[in-house]
Amino acid sequence: MLGHTIRASWQPQPISPPTIDPDLPDLSPIERSSEVLRFQLLRLEYALSSGGTLREYLKFNLRLAAVLAIPAFLVAPIITFALGQVAAWSAFLLATAVNFLLTLLALIAIAAILSGLLFVVRFLRR
């Protein structure tokens, strides 16, 4: 299914040779610079892939990046928040368990002390 989708969207179109703007001498220096830069970039693209394969490859990868990035940027914060809450609650549960254990040990110690005192009192009464 993925291969079919890729083949269906892969439609490279031939690129026409780049031409420079005929009004180049009449343009301002900044506009001339940008026009020359545009022409050089289009010439480089045409030299690398006049059949349009490079342009189609870049378009396809940008679409793929958007399809993967948008859900990641929307879902990742929610998952991070949920995992943070799970970590916080597990820390709370651990603290609660430790408190229960310490309370139980204290009660056992109190019972042992009281039993010892009761034993001493009974021993002294005899």
pLDDT digits (tens, 9 = 90+) for 41-96: 999 989 988 888 888 888 889 988 998 998 889 999 999 999 999 999 999 999 99
In terms of pTM, does the model score above 0.85? no
**3-state SS string for the chain:** CHHHHHHHHCCCCCCCCCCCCCCHHHCCHHHHHHHHHHHHHHHHHHHHCCCCHHHHHHHHHHHHHHHHHHHHHHHHHHHHHHHHHHHHHHHHHHHHHHHHHHHHHHHHHHHHHHHHHHHHHHHHHC
